[in-house]
Amino acid sequence: MSQYSLAQLCEANERLARADISLWGAQAQPIAQDRLGWIGLPEKSRELLPALDALSAWARAAQIGRIVLSGMGGSSLAPEVIATHYGRELLVLDSTHPADVAEVINADPTQTLFIISSKSGETIETLSHLKAIQACLQEGGLPIENHVVVISDPGSPLLAWADENHVRSFAGQANVGGRFSALSIFGLLPASLIGVDCAVLLDDAADMREELQQSGGENLAIQLTQEILAHAPYLVLPDQPFSDWVEQLVAESTGKEGRGIIPVKGAQQDVSDMVRKASALALGASFYLWEWTVALLGSALEVNPFDQPDVARAKSATSKALTAGGTFAHHMVQTTQGALAFIDQKFTHPGGYIGVLAFVPMRDSEIGRTMHEIRQGLQDRFRALDKKVTFGYGPRYLHSTGQCHKGGPAFGSFLIITLDGGERGGVEDFPIPQERYSFGELLRAQALGDCEVLTEIGRQVVHAHLTRDELTRFSQSLRVTS
């Protein structure tokens, strides 16, 4: 992979600059034909600014003080990064854990605006959120058209729902894929509502686009691509919020056909100067630089960066598990001792990486600390085997690194963690109106479905279903025995 020469990269860069759909091979052409709209977003998205200003003015007049974004993957990661970068408050709901859902839904919705964001308009997590939000607003006697805004691609069922319910809606560009949509309506509408000047994001992206049109050794995307290829298959990223967006972009775009780049959040000293620089530019410029770089990486790796062929498999497995009742039938241990025994038995091959996939509350600071300790404990425990450790919250990672887990290099081992609800005052479950299953049942089905798929394709999987107290004991045991 690192043998891709500077001359080849410069040629690929020139072809990308003119939107050559043959850059990723003949098989990728039909998809590339419909997915290169992101290249022109720094200019094209300026057309959105008047409508975004009008929406923001309406929200201010309506005294909206709380913005909630429901979306998965590309629909939520970029807006979350923008909010963090500018120090603005945006509540992101990209979890199906009952505790995360309850925290958002049970709050007073009187001054809340819910952004429902899904390119396909069929995302099961987002549609489930919408059903719960709609029930909450109806219970409070609040008109849904005053508290919900929809973003989806033209012709989607979600836009049809918005039209039927007289809800404000904004259509995305069908020729822009989700993970390349940071500078589209999907990234800019939430940004505008929390007071970010979207014109600045677009100006910085436009400046970067102009720089990247020039091929040569000074081109930042070419330099960054060279750096990533030189250290493939791993890409060490700074442990910061921007890396969550980069992680999805890189892993889902490149992780297929047994190839790909595996992002790993690491210590600051392990991050290369080039990667650090690319992540610390003006935000609009960084978004655009990484998108351009990933398009070049696809060419170098000979993969189509615009599809995600293994994502549908996990969705199908989730549906199957829901039909079966969402019960855990196998691959499960319930004690620290059992989890450690299976980990030491299954994660024995040298090299590769361990993916910790945690279906736990995302916004619980205590559990967050415990998960950090588990990741560090596993890193220490398997250091002699030269294993990397990655981490993802479920089901969010299914819309991000999940593609790479299944389609990328076949040397990943996976620890799936699920949590018994209800203990110590936790939220046991939360209903999904109009559905036969609850959020808790959906979460369990998503964990089980991914466990089944990873096992079927030959990955080593340990599924630990633990109480909250047992999760703490597991973390402590890793620290003691590593």
Q: What is the pLDDT of residues 344-355, one digit of tens each?
A: 999 999 999 999
Q: Is the dihedral of CA 79, 81, 84, 87 positive or negative?
A: negative
Model pLDDT for residues 177-189, shown as the tens digit of each residue: 999 999 999 999 9
Is 0.75 surpassed by the pTM of this model?
yes
* 273 lies in the same domain as 359: no
Side-chain half-sphere CA neighbours of 472 within 13 A: 5
- Domain match, 191 and 294 both: no
Question: Could you say which of 168, 196, 224 is where a domain stops?
Answer: 196
Gap between the Cα atoms of 197 and 475, Å rounded: 43
DSSP letter, residue 406: H
Q: Which two tokens stand for residue 351?
A: 């090299």
Summarize the confidence of residues 64-92 as an average pLDDT. 97
The pLDDT value recorded for residue 420 is: 85
Looking at the structure of the chain, the number of domains it has is 3
Residues 192 and 50 placed together within one structural domain of the fold: yes
Q: What is the pLDDT of residues 213-266, one digit of tens each?
A: 999 989 999 999 999 999 999 999 999 999 999 999 999 999 999 999 999 999
Write out the residue range of the structural domain in which residue 217 sits: 6-20+210-301
Please check whether residue 260 lies inside any domain of the structure: yes
* Residue whose token pair is 């058209």: 145
pLDDT digits (tens, 9 = 90+) for 423-479: 444 567 999 999 999 999 999 999 999 999 999 999 999 999 999 999 999 999 998
Are both 235 and 174 inside the same structural domain?
no
Tokens for 284, please give them.
Answer: 């609009």
Q: What is the pLDDT of residue 323?
A: 85
Q: Which helix (H) or strand (E) holds 240?
A: none
pLDDT of 425 reads: 41
Q: What is the domain-level CATH number for residue 90?
A: 3.40.50.10490
Quick one: which of 393, 331, 400, 333 has its CA closest to 358?
A: 393
Q: What is the pLDDT of residue 390?
A: 97
**Residues 240 and 336 occupy one common structural domain:** no
Instruction: Judge if 390 and 433 occupy the same domain.
Output: yes
Instruction: Note whether 170 and 61 are same-domain residues.
Output: yes
Do 330 and 461 have their domain in common? yes
Claim to verify: residue 411 and residue 364 sit in the same structural domain: yes
Provide the sign of the torsion angle of the four alpha carbons 431, 433, 439, 445, taken in this order.
Answer: positive
The per-residue pLDDT for range 360-384, each reduced to its tens digit, is 999 999 999 999 999 999 999 999 9
Q: 155 Cβ partners below 8 Å, 6+ apart?
A: none
What are the residues facing 353 on neighbouring strands? Answer: 388, 412
- pLDDT for res 311: 81
* Nearest CA-CA partner of 83 in 191, 185, 241: 191
Give me the pLDDT at residue 327, please: 55
CA-based radius of gyration for the chain: 22
Position 37 in a domain: no
Instruction: Grade residue 481 by pLDDT with cuts at 50, 70 and 90.
Output: low
Residue 325 has pLDDT above 70, yes or no: no
**Residue ending a domain, choose from 259, 283, 301:** 301
Quickly state the pLDDT bin for 79 (edges 50, 70, 90): very high
Dump the DSSP string for 254-298.
Answer: H-BTTB--EEEEE-GGGS-HHHHHHTSS-HHHHHHHHHHHHHHHH
Q: What is the pLDDT, as a whole number, of residue 139?
A: 96
Residue 26 lies in a domain: no
pLDDT of residue 423: 45
Pair (350, 444) in one structural domain:
yes
Query: Is 116 within the bounds of a domain?
Result: yes
Residue 49 lies in a domain: yes
Both 152 and 280 in one domain: the answer is: no
pLDDT of 124 higher than 70? yes
Q: What is the pLDDT of residue 19?
A: 97
Residue 244 lies in a domain: yes
Query: φ, ψ for residue 163 (rounded to 5)?
Result: -65, -45
Nearest one of 258, 261, 234, 299 to 5, comparing CA atoms? 299
Measured distance CA(260)–CA(453) in Å, rounded: 19
> What is the average pLDDT score of the chain?
94
- 148-171 confidence digits (pLDDT tens): 999 999 999 999 999 999 999 999
Q: Are residues 11 and 87 in the same domain?
A: no
List the structure tokens of 374: 């588990």
Distance from chain centroid for Cα 215: 30
> Which of the listed residues 196, 218, 242 is the one where a domain comes to its end?
196
* 30 falls within a domain: no
In a domain, 203, yes or no: no
- Going by pLDDT thresholds of 50, 70 and 90, the confidence category of residue 330 is low
